[in-house]
């Protein structure tokens, strides 16, 4: 085998800490290497041409590139090698940037390590075999998980392109947090007015199958060929009969017992309910935790008053299976609830602010409900405790955000903007009211965002105080806010009528569990992780699973919508061809060696191992051996490690290759 080694400087990224010339010189002496060079930017056009030319000049049939992580440019170099007529799987990458130059400082030590990594890549490539990619058919259907604005946008984009969509929402209605908002920054347009038409569009779209009050239970398969099990929870209402008249809700005797989720616990709702009047679909569900029928079996008022006979107490959860090609995660966020710490959490919380203790200390979403025309006060500013108009409101930013000692180290990104909006909305309605904002920094990056904050300060007279609040307590019907003005360098006390906390955005509490079900990585906060922070921000590392909106990181509506459209575009790229190319690094059985114990079959997570019968000419069974279904095998190699006779091998990661790597490193 004639191997060429190409060492990339990556500008200065590798070159600064690794002596690339020394690496390429050393590599030139490795057995099998006939050509070895270094170059400033190997991934650039001239760099790739350098590889292609060398393949021709030196008749290379194996290539090692010492560059950035294979996760970055393996595809680039494999394609370049293929263009020059060498099988792309005869190209290996030595990771000299992420694993060497960026993590070590001493040039000699880093260069030595780089030489080792190149040597082991050379030994590996010697044992690589030419492979061709596997082609599998693509199911052109998309599953969107989450029916907030991100999920709605993604579903509509994909469906409008002509592909079928299954939209799953765990709540009884789609709409998400956006449906709870009053007005949106920086234009102050009504949130419901721009959202509800899109919700209806989803409901009526011929290509969208909407499954509300449903949750994804199981995901099997892989890119282009997922099989998804969805639990459609029992509503106890027959959705084919219900007209959404609302008689059941009016007559339900449990009017004041359940707190409204939609109104953020500020109002009550009946046991049979729709979350809000504009809900889509407008079909109620029964909350069995409060319903008298389900607790004692005695009441069935809703059933009696229903003119359509749609109440169906015996309804059970249904399990549906859907064939899916691409999945878009759009599960959104929750607000960090500072009175109820998640169990086992180390977060210390903000007990000193009295949230949960004082009725008039509320969070951002509760303020949205109070400010909203569809809210408990029909948009009149009245404080929750006594319904009086607050004349002095204190807004506190960064409650839980940017505070590693008590909350999370990240910035929740939207609070600076919505706090400015809250203060502004309040000043527009209560002209003689005073609004104070305690802030750390104002982060208002975005189109017309900074101007919006300036407007709140300069035109609407909102008073911004740079500093933190140490304590809030009640005294004579007022909330005494003790804080510090760090610009003036003085302690400050405000006797407020109401306090609004801009609490941190956090991932959904069950996000990590869902990530495990779907099979995508998540970070320590529970946010889903993208493949590459800059160049592949909407893709998860699992093929065919894309990310949209605040399930990825805190973000506002425009960003979420943009990300949802991007995720939709990625799904459509997948549907652009009928067959999908897959990595050919899958398991292969040596039928002569295989004894037919089928341990491999037991450990395979994909049911990719089948039983093949070997027969003689007369058709008599000689033996049964394992057979790998190449469409199902994902190439994890668990079978390879399990096989007692080593008669099943993972191509590209054979025992021989790994032993060669171990030997080369030592």
Partner 1 sequence: MENIKTQDPKIIAFVCNWCTYTGADLAGTSRLKYQPNIRMIKLPCTGRIDPVFIIKAFEKGADGVLVSGCHPGDCHYNAGNFHARRRWMMFHKLLDYMGIDENRLHFSWVSASEGKKFVDVVNAFTNKVKTQGPFEKYAKINKEFVINE
CB-based contacts of 345: which residues, under 8 Å, 6+ apart?
none
What track of x and - describes contact with partner 1 for positions 381 through 420 (by CB under 8 A)?
Answer: ----------------------------------------
Q: How far is the CB of 193 from partner 1 (least distance, A)?
A: 38
77 belongs to the binding site for partner 1 (CB under 8 A)? no
DSSP string covering 571-623, please?
HHHHHTSSEEEE----EEE-TTT-----HHHHH-TT--EEEEEEE-TT--EEE
**Considering CB under 8 A, how many residues would be counted as binding partner 1?**
53
Binds partner 1 by CB under 8 A, chosen from 542, 590, 629, 630? 542
| Nearer to partner 1 among residue 294 and residue 606 (C-beta) | 606
Q: What is the dihedral of CA 31, 97, 132, 646, to 10 degrees?
A: 70
Q: If you ran DSSP here, which 8-state letter would residue 237 be given?
A: B
User: Whole-angstrom Cα distance, residue 653 to residue 585?
Assistant: 8
Q: Residues, the chain, total?
A: 666
506 belongs to the binding site for partner 1 (CB under 8 A)? no
| Nearer to partner 1 among residue 294 and residue 525 (C-beta) | 525
| Nearer to partner 1 among residue 220 and residue 474 (C-beta) | 220
Q: How far is the CB of 317 from partner 1 (least distance, A)?
A: 24
User: Whole-angstrom Cα distance, residue 662 to residue 666?
Assistant: 7
| Among 109-117, 356-364, 400-408, 473-481, the segment contacting partner 1 (CB under 8 A) | 109-117
What track of x and - describes contact with partner 1 for positions 13 through 52 (by CB under 8 A)?
Answer: ----------------------------------------
662 belongs to the binding site for partner 1 (CB under 8 A)? yes
What track of x and - describes contact with partner 1 for positions 569 through 608 (by CB under 8 A)?
Answer: ----------------x-----------------x-xx--
| Nearer to partner 1 among residue 12 and residue 386 (C-beta) | 12
User: Whole-angstrom Cα distance, residue 10 to residue 303?
Assistant: 71
Q: Which two tokens stand for residue 30?
A: 């490795």
Q: How far is the CB of 629 from partner 1 (least distance, A)?
A: 15
- Chain positions 619 to 638 lying near partner 1, rule: CB under 8 A, are 634-638
Query: What SS3 class is residue 319?
Result: strand
260 belongs to the binding site for partner 1 (CB under 8 A)? no
110 belongs to the binding site for partner 1 (CB under 8 A)? yes
Q: How far is the CB of 596 from partner 1 (least distance, A)?
A: 20
- DSSP-assigned beta bridge partners for residue 500: 362, 395
99 belongs to the binding site for partner 1 (CB under 8 A)? yes
Q: What is the largest CA-CA distance in the chain?
A: 100
243 belongs to the binding site for partner 1 (CB under 8 A)? no
Q: If you ran DSSP here, which 8-state letter would residue 223 be given?
A: T
In angstroms, how far is CA 522 from the centroid of its own chain?
Answer: 8
Residue 334 backbone phi and psi in degrees, to 5: -130, 160
Q: Using alpha carbons, select from 542, 362, 113 the residue that is nearest to residue 528.
A: 542
535 belongs to the binding site for partner 1 (CB under 8 A)? no
User: Whole-angstrom Cα distance, residue 193 to residue 200?
Assistant: 12
Binds partner 1 by CB under 8 A, chosen from 16, 25, 79, 104? 104
The count of other CB atoms within 10 Å of the CB of residue 578 is 9
Q: What is the dihedral of CA 620, 624, 628, 632, to 10 degrees?
A: 90
544 belongs to the binding site for partner 1 (CB under 8 A)? no
Binding site for partner 1 (CB under 8 A): 69-71, 95, 97-99, 102-106, 109-110, 112-113, 115-117, 120, 515-516, 519, 521-524, 529, 533, 541-542, 585, 603, 605-606, 634-638, 640-642, 650, 653, 655, 658-659, 661-663, 665-666
């Amino acid at each position: 085998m004639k191997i060429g080694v190409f060492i990339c400087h990556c500008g200065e990224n590798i070159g600064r800490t690794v002596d690339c010339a020394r690496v390429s010189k050393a590599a030139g002496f490795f057995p099998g290497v006939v050509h070895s060079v270094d170059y400033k930017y190997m991934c650039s056009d001239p760099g790739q041409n350098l590889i292609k030319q060398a393949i021709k000049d030196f008749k290379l049939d194996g290539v090692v590139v010492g560059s950035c992580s294979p996760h970055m440019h393996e595809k680039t170099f494999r394609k370049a090698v293929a263009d020059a007529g060498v099988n792309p799987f005869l190209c290996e990458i030595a990771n000299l940037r992420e694993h060497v130059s960026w993590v070590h400082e001493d040039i000699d030590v880093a260069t030595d390590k780089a030489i080792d990594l190149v040597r082991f890549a050379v030994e590996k490539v010697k044992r690589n075999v030419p492979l061709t990619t596997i082609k599998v058919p693509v199911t052109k259907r998309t599953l969107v998980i989450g029916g907030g604005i991100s999920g709605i946008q993604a579903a509509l984009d994909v469906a409008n392109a002509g592909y079928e969509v299954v939209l799953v929402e765990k709540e009884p209605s789609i709409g998400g947090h956006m449906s709870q908002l009053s007005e949106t920054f920086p234009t102050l347009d009504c949130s419901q007015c721009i959202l509800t038409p899109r919700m209806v569009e989803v409901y009526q779209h011929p290509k969208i199958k909407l499954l509300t009050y449903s949750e994804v239970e199981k995901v099997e398969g892989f890119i282009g060929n997922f099989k998804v099990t969805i639990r459609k929870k029992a509503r106890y209402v027959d959705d084919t009969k219900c007209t959404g008249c609302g008689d059941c809700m009016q007559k339900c005797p449990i009017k004041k017992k359940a707190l409204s989720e939609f109104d953020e616990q500020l109002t009550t709702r009946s046991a049979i309910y729709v979350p809000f009047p504009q809900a889509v679909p407008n079909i109620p569900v029964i909350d069995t935790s409060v319903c008298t029928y389900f607790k004692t079996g005695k009441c069935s008022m809703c059933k009696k008053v229903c003119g359509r006979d749609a109440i169906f107490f015996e309804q059970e959860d249904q399990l549906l299976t859907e064939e899916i090609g691409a999945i878009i995660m759009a599960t959104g966020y929750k607000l960090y609830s500072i009175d109820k710490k998640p169990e086992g959490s180390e977060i210390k919380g903000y007990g000193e602010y009295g949230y949960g203790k004082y009725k008039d200390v509320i969070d951002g979403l509760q303020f949205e409900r109070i400010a909203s025309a569809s809210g408990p006060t029909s948009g009149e500013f009245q404080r929750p405790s006594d319904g009086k108009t607050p004349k002095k409101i204190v807004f506190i930013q960064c409650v839980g955000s940017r505070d590693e000692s008590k909350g999370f180290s990240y910035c929740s990104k939207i609070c600076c903007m919505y706090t400015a909006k809250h203060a502004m909305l309040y000043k527009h309605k209560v002209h003689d009211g005073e609004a104070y904002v305690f802030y750390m920094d104002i982060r208002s990056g975005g189109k017309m965002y900074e101007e919006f904050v300036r407007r709140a300060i300069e035109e609407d007279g909102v008073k911004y105080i740079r500093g933190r609040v140490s304590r809030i307590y009640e005294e004579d019907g007022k909330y005494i806010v003790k804080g510090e003005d760090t610009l003036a360098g003085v302690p400050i006390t405000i006797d407020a009528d109401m306090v609004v906390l801009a609490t941190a955005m956090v991932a959904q509490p069950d996000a990590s569990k869902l990530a495990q079900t779907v099979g995508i990585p998540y970070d320590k906060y529970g946010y889903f992780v993208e493949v590459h922070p800059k160049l592949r921000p909407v893709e998860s590392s699992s093929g065919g699973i894309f990310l949209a909106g605040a399930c990825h990181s805190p973000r506002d509506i425009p960003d979420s919508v943009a990300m949802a459209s991007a995720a939709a575009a990625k799904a459509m790229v997948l549907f652009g061809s009928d067959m999908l190319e897959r990595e050919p690094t899958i398991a292969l059985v040596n039928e002569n060696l295989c004894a037919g114990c089928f341990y491999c079959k037991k450990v395979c997570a994909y049911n990719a191992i089948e039983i093949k019968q070997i027969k003689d000419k007369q058709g008599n069974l000689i033996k049964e051996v394992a057979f790998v279904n190449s469409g199902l095998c994902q190439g994890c190699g668990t079978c390879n490690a399990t096989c007692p006779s080593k008669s099943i091998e993972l191509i590209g990661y054979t025992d021989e290759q790994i032993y060669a790597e171990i030997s080369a490193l030592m």
